[in-house]
Amino acid sequence: KQEVTQIPAALSVPEGENLVLNCSFTDSAIYNLQWFRQDPGKGLTSLLLIQSSQREQTSGRLNASLDKSSGRSTLYIAASQPGDSATYLCAVANSNSGYALNFGKGTSLLVTP
Amino acid sequence: SQTIHQWPATLVQPVGSPLSLECTVEGTSNPNLYWYRQAAGRGLQLLFYSVGIGQISSEVPQNLSASRPQDRQFILSSKKLLLSDSGFYLCAWERKENEQFFGPGTRLTVL
């Protein structure tokens, strides 16, 4: 059974810092990996999708990498802003359940002014 | 563009009452559809998924059920709610073998 772990569970940084969120998974036979953002009481917003054949994806100040063989992904956020404060979720899709996602418990990020 | 709707947004129900949550998707056809639950202090848990009309797969044994009466409609139901059914219910759609997009969620409180 796929298990997804995110470290750290919570992170507080001052505005302007670059930061890295970590995600690891136990079964490397994934189909793809997605990073999401969740604001309190809201649904999930997709940030980046990395297919299993890819090594990284970039969108604005966000960069996500994937090392499938070692079961790891990182989300890099450059020049953090208070508006980046949210919970960040990593999820991997395996093809054995209709490509359903297995989620980590998330990293709660607070960026202080 | 595609959009996904869920209703109601919030719901407070007594133990033993029935439940019906609805999810609809616009702007796409034949999507994979998913129901997830997010309970306090826990990660998102897959409940059901559907790859087509009338095709439902369950991941977790429970007193919930799901149905897909139309291509872009996915319904989550229960005949008798339990306290442990409280949580945040999220519906998602997916282009075949691709990125998943989530709805705004339904906050269910069972008292």
User: What does the pLDDT average to over A33-46?
Assistant: 94
CB atoms A42 and B59 under 8 Å: no
Stated length of chain A: 113
| Closest residue of chain A to B52, computed from CA coordinates | A98
DSSP per-residue codes, B47-72: EEEEEETTEEEESS-SSEEEEEEETT
Q: Is the pLDDT of residue A98 over 90?
A: no
Q: How far is B28 from chain A (nearest CA, A)?
A: 18
DSSP, res B83? G
Could you tell me if A44 and A89 are in contact, meaning their C-beta atoms sit under 8 angstroms apart? yes
Could you tell me if B22 and B89 are in contact, meaning their C-beta atoms sit under 8 angstroms apart? no
Q: How far is B109 from chain A (nearest CA, A)?
A: 13
How far apart CA A72 and CA B73 sit, in angstroms, is 35
Q: Is the pLDDT of residue A96 over 80?
A: no
With a pLDDT cut of 90, the percent of chain B lying above it is 78
Residue with tokens 């990293």: A107
The overall average pLDDT reported for chain A is 94
pLDDT number for residue B20: 97
Stated length of chain B: 111
Best probe of the A interface among B36, B44, B98, by most A CBs < 10 A, is B44
Lowest mean pLDDT among A98-102, B13-17, B63-67: A98-102
> Which chain B residues touch A34 with a CB distance below 8 Å?
99-100
- Provide the pLDDT confidence category of residue B26 given band limits of 50, 70 and 90: very high
Among partner residues B43, B101, B102, which is closest to A104 by beta-carbon distance?
B43
Residues 42-71 of B with CB under 8 A from A: 42-44, 46, 49-51, 57, 59
pLDDT number for residue B96: 65
pLDDT number for residue B42: 79
User: What does the pLDDT average to over A41-63?
Assistant: 94
Among partner residues B32, B90, B99, which is closest to A43 by beta-carbon distance?
B90
Lowest mean pLDDT among A10-14, A46-50, A96-100, B9-13: A96-100
User: What does the pLDDT average to over B75-90?
Assistant: 96
Among partner residues A42, A44, A97, which is closest to B46 by beta-carbon distance?
A97
pLDDT number for residue B61: 65
pLDDT number for residue A16: 97
Q: How far is A18 from chain B (nearest CA, A)?
A: 26
User: What does the pLDDT average to over A39-60?
Assistant: 94
- Provide the pLDDT confidence category of residue A15 given band limits of 50, 70 and 90: very high
pLDDT number for residue B97: 63
Q: Is the pLDDT of residue B58 over 70?
A: yes
- Provide the pLDDT confidence category of residue B2 given band limits of 50, 70 and 90: confident
